[in-house]
Amino acid sequence: MGISRRKFVVRTLLGGTGVMLGAAYLGRNSIRRSIYDLMDDPNMLSYMGDTSNPLMWFEISNDNRVVLHSPKVEMGQGSFTSMVQMAAEELEMDISQISIVHAETSTGNIDGMSTGGSTTIAGFWQPLRELSATMREMLKSEGAKKLGVDVSTVTVAKGTISGGGKTLTYGEIVDGVANWEIPETPALKEPKDFKFIGQPVPRVDLIDKVIGTPMFGMDATMPGMLYGAIVRPDRIGAKYKSSDISKAQGMPGVVKIVQESDFVGVVANSMVEAENAKKAIKAEWQIDRKWQTSDIEAAIKVGKGESMIIQKEGDAGGVLKDDQEGVITAEYKSPIGAHAQLEPNGALAYVEADKATIMMSTQVIQLTRSEVAKRVGLDEEKVNLVPTYLGGGFGRRLHTPNAVQAAVLSKAVGKPVKCYFNRKEEFQQDTFRPPTHHQLKGKLDGNGMIEAIEHSFASGDVMFNSAMVPAIAGTILGADIGATRGGRIQYGAIPNHRAVSWHVSLPFATSWWRSLGLLANTFAIESFMDELAIQASKDPIQFRLDHIQDDEAGRRLKTVIEKARDLADYQDTANGNKAMGFACSTDAGTPCAHVAEVTVEGKEIKVNKVTCTIDPGYAVNPDQVKAQSEGCIIMGISASMFERMFVDDNQLRPTIYGPYKMALMKDAPKEINVEIINGTGKPGAVGEPPLGPIGAAIANAVFRITGQRLRDMPLTLA
Amino acid sequence: MISFTINGKAQMVDVEGDTPLLWVIRDLLDMKGTKFGCGKAACGACTIHVDGEAVRSCSYAVKYAEGKSITTIEGLGTADNPHPVQQAWIDEVVPQCGYCQPGFMMATAALLNKNPNPTDEDIDKNIINVCRCGTYYRMRKAIKKAAEINASTTTNS
Amino acid sequence: MKKTLFLAISVCIMLASISLVTARYSPNEDLPPEVTKESSEVTSTEEESEIAFNKMMDVLTHQRCMNCHPSDNVPKQGEDSHPHRFDITRVNSMNATNCNTCHQASNNDYSGVPGAPEWSLAPEKMYWEGLSRIEIAQSMMNPENNGSRTPEDVMHHLTEHELVLWAWEPGVDAEGIPRELPPVPVDEYIEAVKTWIELGAVIPTE
């Protein structure tokens, strides 16, 4: 391999953050806040992995096909398709000539962080196009040699290089090339020349997903594979002590029962036999205390735990003192939410004497590999993690102790072992969306403009409970940047505004859930904005526009708001039992606005139509931006209207779909109209921002129909 | 031994009669298109056809398949010759993560067999599987599209 | 042929193979006299009938039976008789997604889905939900509602039909927890039904 003359920057979050955190450690609140701002910045969408060598990314076969090895995973968000579009563009190939697979860690092409946070396309925009263009130049250079012409004279089209009256395919060019020289990064195409980028290309995984091709973690197999099951506690805070395995031993199909210091599991010849034997194992758990929903609600309250002012302009505190006349207050709440992704968590592991292979759905490839390596006593490089398509991610697969457990079982029997959660375990061992409590305060001036507004909110862990982030981050940062997503006031023209985060760690795991704090924070703030607009007797949309500052972010937000208003032909008064509701948010730099058209019949709320405007900066694949927006809207309807986990005598319940009520076909709007605005020419976040406004948009419509202000999720009419 | 036909092929399996058909299909016969979602007949990811009827295979003891004809997503259609439901799913670009989709397509195919032109209410009452990505909006369009494809092929033949 | 429709028709035919109703069954006349329970040795026929009636009704009003005799076409589930999840209604019993999409001829211990032969809702006229014991019995014995069954047919149905007897073998729920049994053992219940029918199927007034 030739020597790289390019300057590619290799970054990892941990290294980078470490420096930032170190600098911040001794800082005052204002310094902490600026660190926090930095970490919450859309620029954090940058890709953090090695982009120095195109040969690690592209595999070119003699039949002239390119396989793109992706260190990011496809979990439904459609990023594989956009990645192929970007690659095809600069490689000068057709979409159909490129396939995309997940990069195994043995290729060395490893994401430094995770797939999540709506970062994939934004993060790849520059590096993947550069990698593709560089690969093209490398092919040109080798092609010119083989054609015996000067590289400056060759032309490139559809995966071929022509010069001197002859044409070679990329597949022919790569044949026999041992040493590649990596050139300077070539100039990238101008947007006006794009053939594939910006087009609604059908998903590249569409056919496989429609004909039932095995592609998910749970579909993985290896020769001689056995099945594992882990005994998991159904009580909060239960720590494994010991187990009686006498009844399970010798049950049909049982190969081995594995007792470790921290868990007990069984390996059997089939999934059914493993599950049956598991039920016969009697495990002892240490449980320190009993929790109920009321304990959790009491813990998550503004004023409890650690606090940090995450936003401060003017003197909101002074204007909004409780004894001041005209201060309007309201409280909102959101419940514990489950991920409920359809493919359960698990892994297929094969641990041999000197190496290991793991096949699974994970959002944290590097972390999973490192955890497995540590537990089974191998160097990281000896563990090959083979990522598969994810049967839903939503943040659930950012924690993967399941891989470690499968590996331990495999090591114990010396064979490949596939080990999955059952659905009850999936619900009870989830890393839940934390419950939240919000206190809003506001004051109007004589002209019906907001003089001051404050959002104080309490949440359980989101980022703080993540193995991706050093444990000390919580102590240093003060605020959990996951919980605070969407927690700041986006109306910069309000002279006095403040946001305060309160944090408490709960006795069960709470963490990343698609859009993090955005869902609940936007529900609270945008409902309250509606309350203030009504108090001021103003049109709620104009009211918002009047409070947006005049900078780039403000202008982009204004544009999506105006567009949504016009497209939906927003009417501010109810028509019988029908009304419209409006809300908007900005998440990771992407502004988004929804108009929800709602009907109330009896106590039933129905969302008939949603108009959604979103400015992701630039849509690489407009159809998939629409698909993500539709999906966010429906998932948001589900979360804000139906979903709720309870803590009942120390158990998290329900434990099955149905009792854990979610949106079904009948609950999805029959019309969803998504309008994309390419506001910057550079792609930003898409997969989460449209989850923000939906809850408030529905609640605001319900208020216009019924006069009831619904301040708790799930929205329930009295 | 339990004998049945699966996707047109005769099959015999030597397995305990109460074993859920889902695991026979997935692990014994190694056809992974039928998905495990909950194992409680609640999510519908494991929906298949038994003698043309939609059945949730996680809750169907293999002994009941004796002598019956089973169709899974692999038998519904192929990449080159997709079933009208699959074609409609392709046309509307329905799947996101894709995990629940085979179950939805099997349920839809069963619905259209009985009801070639379902209303929105028919769709709501019959297609009660769970999709977490929220593809319901496109699925509804695809179900109607599949009904159209069916109608046009019937007219043409 | 649609399987469910076939089942529904076969149940109807079975119910229709019927003869007369005895003269003793006329709830609004011949009210039985109030019986005082002073002596258990000398039990009057009326008293014996009423004891049998109550025993039978203890079973029939249990959720194992009531859940599938809804008044609103919505099957109920569980010990708390909540509406069937996923908004299942009687419409589904004739549809592409129907009872047998999930319920088979026997309980499924893996999924916790209950099953028995002919798993289905009772016919619409046979709703019991919201009725008193006496009203349930009146409806059950009324040929207009019960598919023209004679008391003897009713007796056979109540004591021999597998779907009825499923109540004593109701299996486990989704979490593997055994479902609650009716409050009377099956043998006692069968004897009580037979006694009550043999003694004239007298429905008490209060």
Predicted ipTM of the assembly: 0.98
DSSP codes of every residue in A13-57: HHHHHHHHHHHHTT--HHHHHHHHHHHTSGGGGS--B--S-GGGT
The Cα of C101 is separated from the nearest Cα of chain A by a number of Å equal to: 16
Residue C189 CB partners (closer than 8 Å, separation 6+): C55, C56, C59, C182
Tens-digit pLDDT profile for residues B46-94: 999 999 999 999 999 999 999 999 999 999 999 999 999 999 999 999 9
Token pair listed for A620: 């690489």
Surface-to-core class of residue C86, CB atoms within 10 Å of its CB (0-12 exposed, 13-18 middle, 19+ buried): buried
A463 falls in which pLDDT band (50, 70, 90)?
confident
Cβ-defined contact of C86 to A664 (cutoff 8 Å): yes
Q: Tell me: pLDDT of A236 over 60.
A: yes
Lowest average pLDDT, out of A220-229, A302-311, B23-32, goes to A302-311
Q: Tell me: pLDDT of A9 over 80.
A: no
Distance CA A189, CA C64 (A): 70
For residue C85, the chain B residue with the least C-alpha distance is B42
Kindly report the average pLDDT of chain C as a whole number: 84
Q: Tell me: pLDDT of C206 over 80.
A: no
Distance CA A515, CA A486 (A): 9
A99 falls in which pLDDT band (50, 70, 90)?
very high
pLDDT of residue A42: 59
pLDDT of residue C23: 31
For residue C86, the chain B residue with the least C-alpha distance is B128
For an interface test with A, the pick among B62, B85, B91, B137 (most A C-beta atoms closer than 10 Å) comes out as B137
pLDDT of residue A412: 98
pLDDT of residue B43: 98
Distance CA A485, CA A512 (A): 11
pLDDT of residue A322: 76
The Cα of B149 is separated from the nearest Cα of chain A by a number of Å equal to: 16
Interhelix angle B84-91/B101-114, nearest 10 degrees: 130
Q: Are A310 and A487 in contact (CB under 8 A)?
A: yes
Q: Tell me: pLDDT of A136 over 90.
A: yes
β-bridge partners, A244: A282
pLDDT of residue A48: 81
Cβ-defined contact of B61 to C96 (cutoff 8 Å): no
Distance CA A488, CA A492 (A): 10
Token pair listed for B114: 């009985």
Distance CA A670, CA A672 (A): 7
pLDDT of residue A19: 33
Token pair listed for A609: 């139509």
Cβ-defined contact of A655 to C175 (cutoff 8 Å): yes
Residue type, C200: G
Cβ-defined contact of A633 to B134 (cutoff 8 Å): yes
pLDDT of residue C12: 36
pLDDT of residue B117: 96
Q: Are B151 and B116 in contact (CB under 8 A)?
A: yes
Tens-digit pLDDT profile for residues A503-556: 999 999 999 999 999 999 999 999 999 999 999 999 999 999 999 999 999 999
Lowest average pLDDT, out of A153-167, A340-354, C81-95, goes to C81-95
Distance CA C2, CA C23 (A): 40
pLDDT of residue C95: 86
Token pair listed for A441: 């305060």
Token pair listed for A535: 């108090």
Cβ-defined contact of A211 to B78 (cutoff 8 Å): yes
Task: Tell me the pTM.
Answer: 0.93
Residues 135-154 of B with CB under 8 A from A: 135-140
R_g of chain A, CA atoms, integer Å: 27
Residue type, A276: N
The Cα of B110 is separated from the nearest Cα of chain C by a number of Å equal to: 6
Could you tell me the CA-to-CA distances from A612 to A267, A595, A627, A673, A693 in Å, in that order? 49, 7, 12, 6, 10
Beta strands (DSSP E) in A88-158 are 98-102, 155-157
- DSSP H or E stretch at residue A280: helix A271-280
Q: Cβ contacts (< 8 Å) between C109 and chain B: which residues? A: 18
Q: Are strands A417-420 and A226-230 parallel, antiparallel or unpaired?
A: parallel
Interface B–C counts its CB contacts (< 8 A) at 78
Q: Which of B134, B43, C75 is nearest to A658 (CA)?
A: B43
Rounded to 5 degrees, what are φ and ψ at A49?
-165, 180
The mean pLDDT of C101-129, rounded to a whole number, is: 96
pLDDT of residue A20: 36
Q: Tell me: pLDDT of A420 over 50.
A: yes
Q: Cβ contacts (< 8 Å) between A659 and chain C: which residues? A: 85
A642 falls in which pLDDT band (50, 70, 90)?
very high
Residues 24-43 of B with CB under 8 A from A: 27, 30-40, 42-43
Q: Tell me: pLDDT of A4 over 50.
A: no
Cβ-defined contact of C100 to B55 (cutoff 8 Å): yes
β-bridge partners, B69: B5
The mean pLDDT of A70-88, rounded to a whole number, is: 97
Least CB-CB distance to C174: which of A279, A656, A664?
A: A656
- DSSP H or E stretch at residue A636: helix A622-641
pLDDT of residue C4: 41
Q: Tell me: pLDDT of C11 over 50.
A: no
Q: Is the dihedral of CA A66, A69, A72, A77 positive or negative?
A: positive
Distance CA A489, CA A448 (A): 18
Q: Which of C68, C57, C62, C61 is nearest to C192 (CA)?
A: C57
Q: Which of C142, C170, C166 is nearest to C154 (CA)?
A: C142
Distance CA A121, CA B137 (A): 24
Residues 41-80 of A with CB under 8 A from B: 75-78
pLDDT of residue C94: 75
The Cα of B155 is separated from the nearest Cα of chain A by a number of Å equal to: 25
Q: Tell me: pLDDT of C42 over 60.
A: no
The Cα of C174 is separated from the nearest Cα of chain A by a number of Å equal to: 8
Q: Are C31 and C24 in contact (CB under 8 A)?
A: no
How far is Cα of residue A188 from the mean position of the Cα atoms in its chain? 29
- In this structure, the number of other CB atoms found within 10 A of the CB of residue B5 comes to 16
For an interface test with C, the pick among A234, A656, A662, A667 (most C C-beta atoms closer than 10 Å) comes out as A656
Lowest average pLDDT, out of A110-119, A582-591, A690-699, C190-199, goes to A110-119
Least CB-CB distance to B41: which of C2, C102, C106?
A: C102
A427 falls in which pLDDT band (50, 70, 90)?
very high
Q: Which of A474, A486, A346 is nearest to A419 (CA)?
A: A346
Q: Percentage of chain A with pLDDT > 70?
A: 92
Lowest average pLDDT, out of A15-24, A185-194, A634-643, A665-674, goes to A15-24
Tens-digit pLDDT profile for residues A201-210: 999 999 999 9
Q: Which of A273, A452, A466 is nearest to A364 (CA)?
A: A466
Distance CA A355, CA A353 (A): 6
Q: Cβ contacts (< 8 Å) between B60 and chain C: which residues? A: 104, 108
Question: What would you measure as the largest C-alpha separation in chain C, in angstroms?
Answer: 59
Q: Are A203 and A624 in contact (CB under 8 A)?
A: yes
pLDDT of residue C31: 44
Tens-digit pLDDT profile for residues B100-140: 999 999 999 999 999 999 999 999 999 999 999 999 999 99
Distance CA A357, CA A367 (A): 15
Q: Is the dihedral of CA A295, A300, A304, A306 positive or negative?
A: positive
Token pair listed for A110: 């490893």
Q: Tell me: pLDDT of A360 over 50.
A: yes
pLDDT of residue A40: 60
The Cα of C114 is separated from the nearest Cα of chain B by a number of Å equal to: 10
C16 falls in which pLDDT band (50, 70, 90)?
very low
Cβ-defined contact of A664 to C85 (cutoff 8 Å): no
Distance CA B57, CA B61 (A): 8
Sheet hosting strand A671-676, strand order edge to edge: A578-587, A590-601, A604-614, A671-676
B154 falls in which pLDDT band (50, 70, 90)?
confident
A7 falls in which pLDDT band (50, 70, 90)?
very low
Residues 90-129 of B with CB under 8 A from A: 90, 93-102, 105, 120, 123-125, 127-129
For chain C, list the contacting chains (3+ Cβ pairs, <8 Å): A, B
Surface-to-core class of residue C125, CB atoms within 10 Å of its CB (0-12 exposed, 13-18 middle, 19+ buried): exposed
Interface A–B counts its CB contacts (< 8 A) at 176
pLDDT of residue A472: 62
For chain A, list the contacting chains (3+ Cβ pairs, <8 Å): B, C
The residue with tokens 């992701």 is: A616
C164-C166-C169 Cα angle (round to 5): 150
Cβ-defined contact of C86 to A658 (cutoff 8 Å): yes
pLDDT of residue A44: 60
Kindly report the average pLDDT of chain A as a whole number: 92
The residue with tokens 């058909």 is: B21
Could you tell me the CA-to-CA distances from A322 to A30, A527, A534 in Å, in that order? 25, 21, 21
pLDDT of residue A675: 98
The mean pLDDT of A228-236, rounded to a whole number, is: 97
Token pair listed for A578: 């029908």
